[in-house]
Amino acid sequence: MRQQKGMTIVEVLLALVIIGAAFAGMAYIQTTNLRMTTNARLTTDVKAAANQVLEQVMSDVLETTITGGNKYFAFNDYYWTCPTALTPPTGALPVVNRPSCTGTRTIGDVQVTYAVAGESGVTGEGVLTVTVTAVHGAGGQRITLGDRVTCYDIYPSPTSLAPEPCPAPKAGGGGRW
C-alpha cells in the first residue's frame, strides 16, 4: 500500500478556521485600538477648547486698563455684576461696565459654555469663580474646569498708605450684599 503525502480536506479546513480566528482577533484588536485613539483625540480637543476659553475669560476678568487717567478693573465689574447685577456700597469702586456673566463659544466641533460668579472669600474679600464646561459634538466627551481669582490678585494688598481695595467684609459676603 502506498502512503499519500498530501493534506486531507479536513486538515485544510481546520487550518483555515485557525487562521480565520487569528485574523478575526487581530481585526477586533485593531478596531478597538482605532476607537480608543479616536476617543483620546476627541478628549484632547475638548480639554484644549476648555483651557482656551478658561484662559480667555480669566484674561477678561483680570484686565486692567487706564482710561482718561483712571484705572479700570474688569474684576470689579464682574464682581458686582455676576451672577446678579448689584450696586456697590458707598466708597467701593464704581461699576464701569456690566459684562456678561455667562456665554457660549464654539471651537471646532466643541461647544464651550462659561459662567463667572462673584462670592465672598474666607475673610470677605472679593472672589470670582470662573467655570467652563466643554462638550464635543461628535463624541460627547465632556469636561468641566474652574478657576478662582481674588481681589488681591488684581489690587495691591491694603497698607496704611493705600485704601483697602477689596470690598469690606459683610454678613452676606462678596458680590451678594
Does residue 173 sit within a domain?
no
pLDDT digits (tens, 9 = 90+) for 157-173: 666 555 555 655 444 44
Higher pLDDT, 51 or 92: 51
Domain of 80 in residue numbering reads as 9-153
User: In degrees rounded to 5, what are phi and psi of residue 64?
Assistant: -130, 125
Instruction: Let me know: does 164 contact 126? Beta carbons within 8 Å.
Output: no
Position 64 in a domain: yes
Q: Which residues make beta-bridge pairs with 116?
A: 130
Task: Please tell me the total count of domains within the chain.
Answer: 1
CB 18 within 8 A of CB 25: no
Q: Is residue 165 part of a domain?
A: no
Task: Choose between 96 and 89: higher pLDDT.
Answer: 96
Model confidence pLDDT, tens digit, residues 74-92: 888 898 889 888 888 777 7
Q: Note whether residue 171 is domain-resident.
A: no
Q: Is residue 176 one of the residues assigned to a domain?
A: no
CATH code, domain with 127: 2.20.130.10
Is residue 104 in some structural domain? yes
Q: What is the pTM of this model?
A: 0.75
Residue 133 lies in a domain: yes
Is residue 3 in some structural domain?
no
153-156: long-range contacts, CB 8 A cutoff, minimum separation 24: 153/62, 153/75, 154/62, 154/64, 154/73, 154/75, 155/73
